[in-house]
Amino acid sequence: LYYLTGGLSAPDPRQREALIQLEASMQTGGQMVLTDVEQLLDALLFKMKQEEIARADFPPAMHFFKARDLIRTSPIFNLLQKMPKGGALHVHDFGMVDVEWLVKNVTYRPHCYMCFTDIQSVRFIFSSRWPKALPHCSPWTLLENLRAKMVNTTDLDNSIMGNMTLFTDQDPETLYPSQDVIWDKFEQTFLALWGLVTYAPVFRDYYYQGLTQFYMDNVMYLELRALLPEIYELDGSTHDAAWTLKTYQEVTRQFTADHPDFFGARIIFTIHRGVNASVMASVVEEAMKLQRDFPDIMAGFDMVGREDRGRPLWYFRDALSLPVERGVTLPFFFHAGETDLEGSEVDQNLLDALLLNTSRIGHGFALLRHPVAKDISRKRGVALEVCPISNQVMKLVKDLRNHPAAALMSENHPVVISSDDPGMFGSSGLSYDFYEAFVGFGGIRSNLGTLKELAINSLRYSSLTPKQQEKAVVLWQRRWDTFVSENAF
């Protein structure tokens, strides 16, 4: 590959140049051949990045909560928003919409009740009658009544909002001093919005709104990890998982009909990793059934919840082997390696995900510490879904220039960029995460070729069939060419 004289002579500048070029060609996008117009845009982008890096406050080095306003003024961010980014492959059902929409739209709907929990969180329910009291919660208040008594509802709305997101104007380091604290709050936010988003009419609107926000951010395709929970109606009646999945399908179809240049969405059915082995076995059974009955919308199966506290994949190996034993297809998209507990049982999740033939890896933050798993992931083309802002907010990494994906992208390890729970983090869509990846761990060397490869990766590593992928790439390429020619001059 290369040859160094090893100190027998003074270093040769041509050899140096060749090695620098070699290294550049190894990175994500390093093999992309750029058209003349793309090269123009690339030159522009390079200049913008140099200016960005010269700033005193370099956003990727800061906590996202503090960096967000700076990022919004960044010309690179502005460009990334316009850029067709392909698909978002790692997004969760109830973290896809910004919480302001939940407060300003959903909590203003009729029949919305709220109570306050012992630990100052909130719970909601929509009900045609006065709902039964919840344990550890104050008596229910009809929000309509509560707001009617107030001169100014801003404080109330802000306090509700604060309960449904991790984002804060306070110093995040002080407010969330440890992973334990932030994960507790993370789980509380889900409980807070649970009663809102699992109400059938809201459920549909929420998902439609989520698709809208990604679509507006120039994302053309989505793979949504969804719990498929029981969805309830105003009279208290409920729907099962199949109904929920079908509803996802219907809303997706509706959205695609309304926005013909949106390619679609698929669902990865998820279950909390806190369950035991026998529950897991029955959930896998259900997943196989759903996969058979809804092959178009259903992409596969995964587990959610904090890896460090949940059960490791290997604990569930019998349940997770059921599909293979039965000769049934159930693709896996496992979260794995979202941890810095190196060498723990949970740290084996990466290897075990690969042994269980996972199609992609959610996060894979710890992959660099696992050379064997890394090698398998590369050789098998198992892409990592890298979610930079999520990893920072959840306290796995502070300065995003140090994100392990910097090393992975320097050798073109298969990765896609995603946003996990943008609503929880005060971001939205995919552009903020693309910004952190491109300006932060991409470094100066990452270029338009990198962005292009990341966007294409998001379709190539999706669960779409090869034929669908071809179609999606063609659609994407058309929009990409427009984007390039509109911004290169």
Residue 66 tokens, joined: 């503090």
Give the binding range for a copy of itself (CB under 8 A) out of 33-41, 263-271, 334-342, 423-431: 334-342
| 184 near a copy of itself, judged by CB under 8 A | no
Residue 184 tokens, joined: 């507790």
| 93 near Zn ion, judged by CB under 5 A | no
Other Cβ atoms less than 10 A from the Cβ of 9: the count is: 7
- Which residues are marked as active site? 338, 363
Query: Please, what is the minimum distance in Å from the beta carbon of residue 165 to a copy of itself?
Result: 24
Q: Which is nearer to Zn ion, 224 or 475 (CB)?
A: 224
For a copy of itself, the binding residue among 105, 344, 468, 485 (CB under 8 A) is: 344
What is the spatial distance between Cα 361 and Cα 336, in angstroms, rounded to a whole number?
Answer: 6
Strand partners, 269: 226, 301
Contact 220, 262 (CB under 8 A): yes
CA angle centred on 465, ends 459 and 469, rounded to 5°: 35
Query: Please, what is the minimum distance in Å from the beta carbon of residue 420 to Zn ion?
Result: 5
What is the spatial distance between Cα 391 and Cα 353, in angstroms, rounded to a whole number?
Answer: 19
Give the binding range for Zn ion (CB under 5 A) out of 12-20, 40-48, 112-120, 416-424: 416-424
Give the binding range for Zn ion (CB under 5 A) out of 282-290, 403-411, 419-427, 460-468: 419-427
For a copy of itself, the binding residue among 351, 393, 456, 484 (CB under 8 A) is: 351
Long-range contacts (CB closer than 8 Å, 24 or more residues apart) made by 170-174: 172/63, 172/65, 172/66, 172/393, 173/63
Residue 100 tokens, joined: 């302001």
| 420 near Zn ion, judged by CB under 5 A | yes
Query: Please, what is the minimum distance in Å from the beta carbon of residue 300 to a copy of itself?
Result: 12
For a copy of itself, the binding residue among 82, 111, 259, 317 (CB under 8 A) is: 317
What is the spatial distance between Cα 104 and Cα 106, in angstroms, rounded to a whole number?
Answer: 6
Tokens 């190196």, residue located: 342
Give the binding range for a copy of itself (CB under 8 A) out of 145-153, 236-244, 339-347, 474-482: 339-347
Residue 311's binding partner among a copy of itself, Zn ion, none (Cβ under 5 to 8 angstroms by kind) is none
Beta-strand pair 264-272/238-239:
unpaired
What is the spatial distance between Cα 399 and Cα 380, in angstroms, rounded to a whole number?
Answer: 30
Residue 420's binding partner among Zn ion, a copy of itself, none (Cβ under 5 to 8 angstroms by kind) is Zn ion
Angle between helices 200-216 and 241-258 in degrees, nearest 10: 40
How many residues sit close enough to a copy of itself to count as binding (CB under 8 A)? 63
Binding positions for a copy of itself, rule: CB under 8 A: 1-2, 4, 6-11, 15-16, 19-20, 22-23, 26, 53, 61, 173, 314, 317, 321, 324-325, 340-344, 347-348, 351-352, 354-357, 368-373, 375-376, 380, 396-399, 401-402, 404, 406-407, 410-411, 441-446
